Chain A
């Protein structure tokens, strides 16, 4: 019961946060130098054409008015029109975003399973050779940029040992499933086109793995640190003294309080992928949201930029709500709103 109240409260707060974020993004993207209308039409377009476009885009109105016009449209589900593709931005995004979300979801899965399990193993065998190996591997994981992993994986697992496809989202010979959610995997499963779903999954394994390496390494280190730290606490010593089996202590009594920190960090890492996956998407020639965002910025495609940043903002907010829910599950103190008195 209290859990639901807590979640609803968190969601209401988040809507407030998003409102603030939207103001911030709108102002920043409107005060950066360069005239979007001029860039859209090119340097040789006559002045009157530029003027007309500015009027069409409401750029001649004061910024406050423009914001409310934009917000009104946003609430109607209209993000404006891209200056580059001349298509509604919602249409562009509805193509790219699900593709990216597929990768991010898989990447999150990899991060959590690889990270937490390596960390757990490392803590369980702390100060042995296994711990040493895991710690070195996680150092390497943290310091190596994701695109290097991407190139490395592509080289090894699709070129030298051709198990996975090198590029793209789906094999050329397979027709994508009809659009329901935009995710090929989900749509494929819903329409019974398992072949397309599986093929898409096969395509995103390498990019997802490349993207997850940094976060997984980080999570492994944090899980280990927190477990080793908590293992010295009296409640674990007591559990040992009372003869509670070692396995149970490690899997339950020690793990649960130790997951709070790594999970918080991991959720933010995952949200960050939405904007930071650009280079990896480039390596795998993947039609993802990051690439769309970077291209929009390079062309000063005003409304596209605002929309991309806004969606990344939404992703962070959602990630924060998810963190709060997971932590509320793990930590009764957060859930019940009591003062932290440790």
Chain B
């Protein structure tokens, strides 16, 4: 957009389908995401909305049955994925590291932490001298106490929180510019969750790392990230700075999502969102949220809403804002 040199990661019009026995699951339906250098961006949405698929597309580790139908991904100005009519160009991104959701599954159970870290240092960071020091240094960066002992440990000898720190260390060992964190705290205790998030936040600040944090919790997103992308059923429905998303949520889905955050004020169980994520075999033709949306009109069912810039840097994919896209402070009454 404004300055190309400042963009760490750019995903354009990414469509990923999955071939399954019953047909084709049309999961990602044209995703656009932009992350600036050193910026922390959250990708928020329900389970199964395609957050992990988005990250895996960047890393080039999609499952075998995935079909890339369109899209272009650029990392630090270098094209790593481009789908056109004839062929799919794809290469491994340099300087991107991923932290997986389940630290137990992300570490090889039969090799020591050291053996695994050394490989990452050697092949991802391309360091061939003092490999061990590099690895231990990465463990220290991830604030692991007694790094040289952990270097000789096997994953099963560590607690869940420590394993996730090891995964973060592994990501750091790759000398990345961008870290993709896929729900890094979902499998951890609440107290550890907070520590891990703070660690990620501090590391990104200290090392000027761009970060995409995938989470299903808007609260976590606000605490950790500068900007929030709200994702629904394989589409980006709204994005803005964290502050704006909370102050002025525009998309009906975002509004319901915020309303469904449980509060401690004793109002009982928070309101949920009626209905379920659509069937990806036969997704709605128009807006994918339309079947669950109380404001949906005929138009919503028939055509896909484009992104409207409602206020500066605040975009929403909803026809409610079609005519008001110039207005700085819209009222969400009708269209």
Q: Cβ of A242 < 8 Å from any Cβ of B? A: yes
The A contact surface, by secondary structure, is helix
Q: Cβ of A21 < 8 Å from any Cβ of B? A: no
Chain B residues 208-267 with CB under 8 Å of chain A are: none
Shortest Cβ distance from residue A124 to the other chain B in the assembled complex, whole angstroms: 14
Chain A residues 182-218 with CB under 8 Å of chain B are: none
Stretch at the interface among A52-60, A232-240, A300-308: A232-240
Instruction: State how many residues of chain B have any CB contact under 8 Å with chain A.
Output: 32
* List of B residues within 8 angstroms of A237 by Cβ: 56, 59, 61, 100
Q: Cβ of B273 < 8 Å from any Cβ of A? A: no
B105 touches A235 (CB 8 A): yes
B107 touches A338 (CB 8 A): no
Q: Cβ of B157 < 8 Å from any Cβ of A? A: yes
Q: Cβ of A299 < 8 Å from any Cβ of B? A: no
A234 touches B154 (CB 8 A): no
B106 touches A234 (CB 8 A): yes
* List of A residues within 8 angstroms of B1 by Cβ: none
B123 touches A245 (CB 8 A): yes
A243 touches B110 (CB 8 A): no
B174 touches A242 (CB 8 A): yes
B110 touches A331 (CB 8 A): yes
Shortest Cβ distance from residue B210 to the other chain A in the assembled complex, whole angstroms: 17
Q: Cβ of A64 < 8 Å from any Cβ of B? A: no
A239 to B124 Cα, complex, angstroms: 9
Chain B residues 77-118 with CB under 8 Å of chain A are: 92, 96-98, 100-102, 104-112, 116
Which 5 pairs of residues, A with B, have the shortest CB-CB distance?
Answer: A242-B124, A241-B59, A234-B106, A234-B105, A332-B154
| 19 sample A-B contacts, Cβ–Cβ < 8 Å, listed by A number | A235-B116, A237-B56, A241-B61, A241-B92, A241-B96, A242-B120, A242-B124, A243-B92, A244-B120, A248-B119, A253-B108, A253-B119, A256-B111, A257-B108, A257-B110, A330-B110, A331-B110, A332-B109, A336-B156
* A-to-B contact residues, CB < 8 Å: 127, 232-245, 248, 253, 256-257, 330-333, 336, 338, 341-342
**With A235-B106, A240-B60, A253-B108 already in contact, 18 other A-B pairs whose C-beta atoms are closer than 8 Å:** A232-B63, A235-B105, A235-B116, A238-B98, A238-B170, A240-B61, A242-B123, A242-B124, A244-B119, A244-B124, A245-B123, A253-B111, A331-B109, A331-B110, A332-B109, A332-B156, A338-B157, A341-B156
